[in-house]
A and B are shown apart, each in its own frame.
Chain A
Amino acid sequence: MENMSKKKSGFADSGMILRAIRDSFAKLHPKTQAGNPVMFLVFVLAILTTGLWVLSLFGIQDAPGGYTLAIAVILWFTVLFVNFAEAIAEGRGKAQADSLRASRKDEDAHKIPSVEQKENATTVPGASLKRGELIIVRAGEQIPADGEVVQGAASVDESAITGESAPVIREAGGDRSAVTGGTTVLSDWLIIRVTSEAGESFMDKMIAMVEGAARKKTPNEIALQIFLVALTIIFLLVTMSLYTYSLFSAKLAGIENPTSVTTLAALLVCLAPTTIGALLSAIGIAGMSRLNQANVLAMSGRAIEAAGDVDVLLLDKTGTITLGNRQAAAFIPVDGTDEAELADAAQLSSLADETPEGRSVVVFAKEKFGIRGRTLSDKGMAFIPFTAATRMSGVDFDGSEIRKGAADAIKAYVTAGGRRYSEECERVVRSIAEQGGTPLVVAKNHRVLGVIHLKDIIKQGVKEKFADLRKMGIKTIMITGDNPVTAAAIAAEAGVDDFLAEATPEGKLAMIRDYQQKGHLVAMTGDGTNDAPALAQADVAVAMNSGTQAAKEAGNMVDLDSSPTKLIDIVRIGKQLLMTRGSLTTFSIANDVAKYFAIIPALFMGLYPGLSALNIMRLHSPQSAVLSAIIYNALIIVALIPLALRGVKYREVPAGDLLARNLLIYGLGGLAAPFVFVKLIDVLLVALGLV
């Protein structure tokens, strides 16, 4: 959440802007320019018009020298603006990469021959470690390489990669055994088996990803680029043929050819989809950067786009749909007991119970019945902790025994005391279980008082969230280890579309395969080693950073926060990325209509005076019309940089509504905007006496 709020504080600071301006010039290298065909064309035309201006100094010209110079200058600015857009998008990632690099010290590692001989360490440079070697890292030392803890447990500061300052526990065995190079051991020691060598560690990958150095064009971006290049080729042919058309028509009319190469170059730049062409890579980088800000590291841009396509989300119940723990929701007295008496007994029995469930009983009793939590030192209470043998916990005081536990344990306790375990109690226990809750029976001196209803608390707002997702065509599926009855009850309450109860890794894998078979794209989150096969099968697989190395390798994203709700944010970022591309493409193409109305009459009014009727913007002169159009073309790039970086507005509504909305804003807006601004620029040029 911290990172999300940081994002809202504007897209760049002044340092980043300065750096981006510097980079804009560095990117003028032809090799860099050639990477973006649409903009390469602008680059070539800038050189061409500059050349034409130089020729005009020697008297070789088909348009006034000053006009040619003006066009050339604007074209160079267009190229720089494009470079700036890309540079600013890269800015944040570069800054992040710099701080990552700074945090990584090239420390020595303490290599050991085997776990048994951990005192027998030899010091070697961290960069020389090979996969499979064992090292020991003690408190205060930085972990030199990614690895798997084989012995020991320690608290580790992972803030270098997650930004989260609270230390985390890393220990051998289980799902918390992965450690990342560049993080620091705060206490105790760890013996680690190295899993990655220098240059390919998680930190290296992370630096490359946030910096955009390893950025490859995604399939979607390539497809769009093909479309843009095709449009550019058509417009190239349009302008080239226009030159001969003009020659032909002028000859028929017996006049001089009215079109100059300079004007045609300007026309071509106006028509080519420069707006989207300019912002295309910035949009991609910004999408990646937004994901990084959400503390998710994608292993490829492809994964982000796939996230936009996902239509089935497998969500873990705990943490995503429900709060982590069960909480007391009701006290149900049986056999004529007073509810307040039950609450009192329940609270007493839970005072020493440090589990979240136990604490929730204390809090619930306090809130519902105003029973103040008593201190543990009261009246010589003796607390009876939970044991596997009794499967009960409780308290002995004032000569009475209070016990709470699972129904069968209490039943045994009650009957052992010669009392009757009532029908009513059995009924209440059954009904709670059927509702998906956990019954805890409370007894005092071998007499049943009543039942505590512990239930999973659905997180606030999840039901609405799932409804929104459903509107967008995304199915949510709850994964839980609970039995089917409990799972069904929670699923109904949370409003998920489906659930997988008593989930096993094989069950998850089978479910993913099944959905994929039906043509769906599935996303899931996982952390344990046993999640790896399912992660590998899913289309979008988010591994928790706290998870095992195997899970991280199987996934195509890593969530540094290890937050189970992250999947929903990832889908949003993926969709927003594609939407921004589509919307700006529409805007860019729609712009061309107005530009035609500015330039075509300007070109041919001399040849066919009637065409002045098409000059609906009433632009001052042919030259001012061309200049206004091309200045607009350059400025709109700069104006849209914030939108490209932020992404277009995203809402969870059906596809049709989204399309209608974006068409209205970017399609209709794209048609109208240039009419207004080209006219404004024209008025301004005239007012300043520039034309």
Chain B
Amino acid sequence: MSAAVQYVLYIAILIALAMPLGRYIKKVMFGERTILSHVLCPVENGIYRLMRVDVQKEMNWKEYAVSVGVFSAVGFVFLFAIQLLQGVLPGNPQGLPGVGWDLAFNTTASFVTNTNWQAYSGESTLSYLTQAVGLTVQNFVSAATGIAVLFAFIRGFTKVKETGLGNFWVDMTRTVVHLLLPLNLVVALALVGGGVIQNMDAAKTVKLLEPVAVSSEGEILDGAVIGEDGVVTVEGTVIDGARIVTEQFVPMGQAASQVAIKQTGTNGGGPMGVNSAHGLENPNAFTNLIEMISILLIPAALCFTFGAAVKNKKQGNAVFIAMLICLVLALGVIAVNEQAATPQLAQNGAVDLTASAQAGGNMEGKETRFGIASSSTWAAFTTAASNGSVNSMHDSYTPLGGMVTMLLMQLGEVIFGGVGCGLYGMLAFAILTVFIAGLMVGRTPEFLGKKIEPYEMKWSVLVCLATPIAILVGSGVAAAVPQVMDSLNNGGAHGFSEMLYAYSSAGGNNGSAFAGFNANTVFINVSIGLCMLFARFVPIVGTLAIAGGLAGKKRLAVTAGTLSTTNAMFIFLLIFIVLLIGALSFFPALALGPIAEYFACMA
């Protein structure tokens, strides 16, 4: 019962915050006055002067796309270089060496595409300078790029017989200055207040309260007794070569500020390797709540922005409801499966699977301070949005719980999805939906008064199918490469799932992983990097092309013969199409992974 209350509360808080934020973002998009204007507009205008941006210049879709491309390319080169050179650059108190080319390529692609797949552990690989000037900057601008493209797309609907879609530099600046900076300031301060660290110190080595005995391979010995003479025994047997650990490595750094943008910008790449499961990144229930809500806040708000911008609030609500229904369904499956665990885990009642007294259920890979409800919710949120931050290890989820996280990514990250990109992805699916539905009622399909013709269709299918293509090609090729098998942590169906999850994460620009998978090899670094770039930039070009096409069209009148795109029928159909395309593309793959694993558990 209390778990159910938690789930409802999380969703309720999300909606309550997203609605006003959505209206605020609409004002930002159109450059209208907001409560923060008098503070932020001078900053915005200062940037325009500094960068010599002509605010009045409208870009057509090609100019807009070129601007996005150039901006991302410059960011790419800068981030790539700073990683290779971090060994000789300042801001590196731990003296970490430069990053290898393949890992640097992977990490660069990952952060430029708002994916934040991390084939490395932040605290032991990247200097503070790289994290702050490289990664955190991309966390802001890659998020803003997605939102800017969405703005251009929305203008495709609002404009009639025009070619201009707005100005990328203006959209980018406004998004960062008016939205991301103030929002993250608030979130970061709240996190610091909640106990997340924020300092410039080098990592520390602290004394353990109690020494721990480990084997010669470094594995912790359960039930070991450390004698006064330093001899380690387990149940009276002396362990040869055992070592006694008395100190612990504790990472430091500007965690709170980085965590804030990694959550709100659907980035997901945190300063610590274990992400928000780490005690210093996410110490307690309060910080967990803030971080979790932050994942979906902007993606959900943008639905309402869309409705307000196209002057059809019902349309925004309809898209929001479609996403919400999918999210709740996914969350339901994860929550039920994690709470019920598997027959093997139940061990005839030896493991507590109830939620009444303490966190019971499949607690493997989950933090006791979060329990099933907060872990499952986070898992659903982070894979629904293309965030990818984690507070529990998805690799340890039950087969079906883990499958849902994978499926959410495979659907193309359109269940809220990444900031901006989730919504434009979903709207591309809406275009496919009106196309099929429109034909069924005997009219040339139209969406928000704009006719959907071959040109729009061409780009829409590209936007919708970029993710399945990236995942299928990536994982298909990887399955044929013998070395990939060495990266697996498990055999059998779960081993296949680890590999499939990695490419799903890349193709969905998510960034989370089945943690057992060792992704830091040349082949995997490069192939995943390419998947991420494809799944990010193909849809961006497609989205802008559609926007260009739509903006140039006249708007058709609404009659009783017009298919409603805001009623329950349409919402149902939209969900159906999204699930159908996802299911048809990935049913065979899932059957060989989690589904096979599930039936093996049940047998």
Chain A residues within 8 Å of B, Cβ to Cβ: 219-220, 222-224, 226-227, 230, 233-235, 237-238, 240-249, 251-253, 271, 305-306, 308-309, 311, 470-475, 518-521, 574-579, 581-583, 585-586, 589-590, 592-593, 596, 600, 603-604, 607-611, 613-614, 650, 654-656, 658-660, 662-663, 666-667
Contacts and interface: CB of A to CB of B under 8 A. Distances in A.
Given A234-B585, A237-B472, A662 B563 contact: no
Instruction: Assign chain B's interface to a size class.
Output: 35 or more
Given A241-B473, A579-B439, 20 more contacts: A226-B461, A237-B468, A241-B475, A245-B588, A248-B485, A249-B496, A473-B560, A575-B441, A575-B442, A577-B442, A579-B442, A592-B584, A593-B583, A608-B493, A613-B599, A655-B560, A656-B569, A659-B441, A659-B573, A663-B440
A252 B497 CA distance: 12
A223 B454 contact: yes
A663 B475 CA distance: 34
A579 to B, nearest CB: 4
Given A226-B458, A574-B442, A608-B599, A474 B485 contact: no
A574 B457 CA distance: 21
A575 to B, nearest CB: 3
A230 B559 CA distance: 31
B461 A658 contact: no
B262 to A, nearest CB: 31
Interface in B415-450: 432, 435-444, 449
B345 interface: no
Contacts of A518: 557
Interface of B: 432, 435-444, 449, 452-454, 456-458, 461-462, 465, 468-469, 472-473, 475-477, 479-480, 484-485, 488, 491-493, 495-496, 499, 554-557, 559-564, 567, 569, 573, 576, 580-581, 583-585, 587-589, 591-592, 595-596, 598-600, 602-603
The DSSP consensus for interface residues of chain B is helix
A246 B592 CA distance: 8
B436 A585 contact: yes
A305 B437 CA distance: 16
Most A-side CB within 10 Å, residue of B436, B473, B588, B598: B588
A609 B597 CA distance: 11
A252 B495 contact: yes
Contacts of A309: 443-444
Nearest to A308: B442
A305 B603 CA distance: 55
Contacts of A660: 569
A207 to B, nearest CB: 29
A614 B591 contact: yes
A656 B485 CA distance: 52
17 contacts: A219-B444, A227-B436, A230-B461, A234-B465, A238-B588, A241-B472, A245-B475, A247-B479, A249-B592, A252-B491, A253-B492, A305-B444, A520-B559, A583-B440, A585-B436, A655-B560, A656-B563
A235 B495 CA distance: 24
Contacts of B564: 655-656
B457 A226 contact: yes
B473 A237 contact: yes
B20 to A, nearest CB: 32
Most A-side CB within 10 Å, residue of B563, B569, B592, B603: B592
Most B-side CB within 10 Å, residue of A244, A471, A576, A650: A244
A253 B436 CA distance: 42
Given A473-B559, A592-B584, A608-B592, A655 B480 contact: no
B454 A222 contact: yes
Most A-side CB within 10 Å, residue of B439, B475, B485: B439
A473 B452 contact: no
A667 B436 CA distance: 11
A604 B442 contact: no
Contacts of A249: 493, 496, 592
A611 B595 contact: yes
Contacts of A590: 580
A624 B102 CA distance: 48
A61 B469 CA distance: 30
A306 B595 CA distance: 47
A230 B538 CA distance: 15
Most A-side CB within 10 Å, residue of B449, B561, B573: B561
Given A604-B592, A610-B600, A610-B603, A473 B440 contact: no
B468 to A, nearest CB: 6
A587 to B, nearest CB: 10
A579 B441 contact: yes
Contact of A247 (B480, B491, B495): B480
Contact of B440 (A230, A520, A579, A610): A579
Contacts of B554: 519
A291 to B, nearest CB: 15
B443 A578 contact: yes
Given A473-B560, A474-B559, A659 B472 contact: no
Contacts of B561: 311, 472-474, 654-655
A244 B479 contact: yes
Q: Which 6 pairs show the lowest CB-CB distances between chains A and B?
A: A582-B439, A610-B599, A473-B561, A241-B476, A575-B442, A473-B559
Nearest to B459: A226
Nearest to B601: A610
Contact of B461 (A227, A521, A577, A607): A227
A578 B444 contact: yes
A227 B477 CA distance: 25
A667 B577 CA distance: 11
A241 B453 CA distance: 32
B560 A608 contact: no
Contact of B469 (A220, A234, A305, A604): A234
A586 B433 CA distance: 11
Given A271-B584, A311-B559, A610-B596, A519 B465 contact: no
A384 to B, nearest CB: 54
B72 to A, nearest CB: 26
Nearest to B491: A252
Contacts of A470: 560
A608 B596 contact: yes
A220 B439 contact: yes
B471 to A, nearest CB: 9
B440 A219 contact: no
B485 A658 contact: no
Contact of A224 (B439, B556, B557, B584): B439
Contact of A223 (B457, B462, B591, B592): B457
Contacts of B443: 308-309, 575, 578, 655
A604 B569 contact: no
A243 B472 CA distance: 11
Nearest to A608: B596
Given A226-B458, A247-B480, A234 B468 contact: yes
Most A-side CB within 10 Å, residue of B443, B480, B555, B603: B443
B465 A230 contact: yes
B437 A582 contact: yes
Contacts of A230: 461-462, 465
A611 B585 CA distance: 18
Contacts of B438: 578, 582
A251 B493 CA distance: 11
A227 B435 contact: yes
A659 B468 contact: no
